Amino acid sequence: MKKFDTKFRVYFEDTDAGGIVYHANYLRYFERARSDWVRAIGGDQQKLLEQSIAFVVKALNINYRKSAVLDEVLTVTCEPVTIKRVSLVCDQAVYNNKNECLVEARVKIGCIDTRTKLPCKIPSELLREMRSDH
């Protein structure tokens, strides 16, 4: 399982009045990075939703080290560390352009059936891609 990374610019809407990224917006960056990772390995979240399959955050442990600021380009990583049939755990981090780790998190994600809201298996093809070294 290989670490995936993507880049995002900090926009005014992401910040408070002082130009500092609001703490909850890091969760959005992490979500976007996970979505980009799924897309990069061939997953199609729209098709999953059409099959009543979705991923939800089950638990999150986050450590804020330093603030990102307006106009900064951030690198957001997603590294799967455990992948099971109905869940996965990813280590994620946000780095600034000096490669300083600003925020890090461990995110536990479950796969659910959107009709029943109960756990369900990750589709086998997607599971295989998640486990491979891309």
Task: Return d(Cα 30, Cα 90) in angstroms, integer.
Answer: 10
Helix (H, G, I), strand (E, B) or coil at 72: coil
Q: Which residues are catalytic?
A: 16
Task: Return d(Cα 53, Cα 121) in angstroms, integer.
Answer: 9
Q: Apex CA 1: angle with CA 111 and CA 117, to 5°?
A: 5
Cα-Cα-Cα-Cα dihedral sign, residues 134, 36, 111, 42: negative
Task: Return d(Cα 45, Cα 103) in angstroms, integer.
Answer: 26
